[in-house]
Structure 1
């Protein structure tokens, strides 16, 4: 690492006309103050705002901010490509020695940025912000998030618990990340697999004060599914194990039926249950198996097309 370095902050924005005018001045003031600290060797910074196909005045506000502030740049995507792709678009546009990704709502404690930069100066290539607790979440979100991280762990997915997208990456870590050409992105799983020196920074996540969250339950479920199917074949193996188990149970059930019919013919009661229930059960298992297999085949289908993950409609870079 050189004695001085440049920093880019990549911030995806989607329908953030309410939050941007409130939060960006706070980020600017903080970064200007950080660069004046004696223990921080960073010499310059930029803020890369990525408009992820917003339908409100987000891009208009970004353009105004770039004109008023020399440190602010903007990238506009041609359509809504999703949070992960918007973040990747900003990362691809960065030319700095260090890049930090964060959300525009300032729920992630901005004070952790100084600690991240210090860890970079000590030799870390990846500095991951990890939430101290989930007190700011609803009980439902807290429960489902904790359950999801446990599920990822069971399936061998390399995700850091309570780490979202608040992180610092060195230039070589960023180059390694951009070498992945996957269509189905799950950055929270890809980044820990890079393998360079990693440090975790705990921080307190705050409640959102400006605007409303754009991460709906549907989007969270989609991200969760991508995390599992992009890194783990455990669901496919679980289907195989279930098939073997059903086969073994069927053998025992068949033996019991034949033994009863031969040894105790008068106790055999004809009925539809012995026919209908196994049919329903096996039919449900088959549909479940086809659904899981279809999800993986769909992923393969999308990957083989090699379609671009995003298109940049307009950019204001300095």
Structure 2
């Protein structure tokens, strides 16, 4: 441990910034310019080693993102990239990038391609690493740039995760620094149902938090519309999405809601004296119990579906091209 601490204090770390990209051609040139300028400044200030670089991970884009990555690589070899054969989602894309980056990095920073997260926090994160911290979370001070709906649902999501016993960092997404040994440990988790915001806190290394203000998106569009946010929230609790089984749960929920409407209807008919004896209790029982049974089956089905996906042991991603 003392040797590791001494090495961090004396040797400049090799930093790799991993950037997941899904249809980000519109913003990639600006993103690359800002990140390369940051690396240049950090190298000049002797904060990182000269071998530091950026690693873009193309997640099945169909808008010319990979060509933009290739152009960035041609202009500056510090900007590299890998391309995945098919779209696997942000969490798998991040894991693929970190798995490649750990080959030559001392520290890995993950950040979204739109750079709404403040890149000026990265030097502070690296400073924390050199002081012995293995994981540094980038955490938003406030959510003023979000719509009321997104802000409210995001806060509800974090509270729900905490109530379910899942360890997460409040207002932290996937902007973080990890040391190589932390990334090595994370890569030992071979599950297909990835939820990095829950996995990283389980690693147990020393952590720190760096707060920042999130900027407005400068181009492109968000890859998290309402439907995607709902899916991501459910995956965070159950670790993955099994849509066919989940439909059973929502049907059960629908029947439960209908049973509440039937309750009002039955009470109204009962007060009017227009019911057959025993009909009220029977119809309410059928709707209520039926809804509860289907909801229960849906919840159990979520976990059975995840077991089904895990036991097949399919590859998590396939890298078709590399520019390193």
Task: Give yes or no for TM over 0.5.
Answer: yes
**CA deviations over 1:190-229 (Å, ceiling 9, x no partner):** 0000000000110111110121112222222222111101
Structure 1 residue 41 displacement after superposition: 4.7
Q: Is the 8 A contact 2:42 2:48 kept in 1?
A: no
Q: Does 1:187 align with 2:196?
A: yes
| Count of matched residue positions in the alignment of Structure 1 and Structure 2 | 281
| Structure having the higher Rg | 1
Assess if the C-alpha contact under 8 Å between 1:35 and 1:42 holds in 2.
yes
Query: TM-score when scaled to structure 1?
Result: 0.86
Aligned partners of 2:108, 2:177: CA distance in 1, in Å? 6
| Distance of 1:22 and 1:47 partners within structure 2 | 14
The Cα shift of 1:135 comes to: 0.4
Alignment pair present for 1:72 and 2:67:
no
Distance 2:291 2:319 in 1: 44
d(CA) in 1 for partners of 2:93, 2:171: 21
User: Which residue, 49, 53, 62 being the options, matches 1:46?
Assistant: 53
Q: Is the 8 A contact 1:22 1:210 kept in 2?
A: no
Shift of 1:269: 6.8
| Secondary structure in 2 matching 1:5 | coil
| Distance in 2 separating the partners of 1:135 and 1:49 | 28
State the distance in 1 between where 2:22 and 2:154 align. 23
**What is the CA–CA distance in structure 1 between the aligned matches of 2:309 and 2:14, rounded to whole Å?**
36
Indicate the SS of the match to 1:111.
Answer: helix
Q: What's the TM-score once normalised by structure 2's chain length?
A: 0.84
Q: How do 1:115-126 residues align onto structure 2 when only pairs under 5 Å count?
A: 115-126=124-135
Secondary structure of the structure 2 residue equivalent to 1:35: helix
Separation in 1 of the partners of 2:228 and 2:90? Answer: 9
Q: CA deviation at 1:315?
A: 0.9
Deviations 1:160-215 (A, max 9, x none): 11000100000110000000000000000000000000001101111101211122
Q: What is the CA–CA distance in structure 1 between the aligned matches of 2:158 and 2:228, rounded to whole Å? A: 17
Kindly indicate whether the alpha-carbon contact (under 8 Å) linking 1:66 and 1:73 is maintained by their aligned counterparts in 2.
yes
What do the CA deviations read for 1:237-263 (whole angstroms, capped 9, x no partner)?
xx9xxxxxxxxxxxxxxxxxxxxxxxx
* Equivalent position of 1:246 in the other structure: none
* Structure 1: distance between partners of 2:278 and 2:140: 58
Secondary structure of the residue aligned to 2:18 is: strand
Q: Distance in 2 between matches of 1:217 and 1:48?
A: 29
Task: Supply the distance in 2 between the matched residues of 1:182 and 1:223 (Cα, whole angstroms).
Answer: 16
Query: What RMSD in Å do the two structures reach over aligned CA positions?
Result: 1.6
Quote the residue 2:306 is aligned against.
299
Given that 1:35 and 1:44 are in contact with CA atoms closer than 8 Å, whether structure 2 keeps it comes out as: no
Equivalent residues of 2:15, 2:106 under 8 A apart: yes
Give the structure 2 partner of residue 222 of structure 1.
231
Q: Is the 8 A contact 2:39 2:53 kept in 1?
A: no
CA shift digits 1:106-144 (9 cap, x unpaired): 100010001100000110000010000000000000000
Query: Per chain length, whose mean CA-contact separation is higher, i.e. which structure has more relative contact order (CA < 8 Å, sep 6+)?
Result: 1
Asked if the contact 1:78–1:311 (Cα under 8 Å) also holds between the matched residues in 2, the reply is yes
Q: Whole-Å Cα distance in 2 between the matches of residues 46 and 30 of structure 1?
A: 10
Distance in 1 (CA, whole Å) between partners of 2:48 and 2:221 is 36
1:280 aligns with 2:287: yes
Secondary structure at the aligned position of 1:220 is classed as helix
Q: Which residue of 2 aligns with 1:24?
A: 32
Structure 1 unmatched ranges of 5 or more: 232-238, 240-267
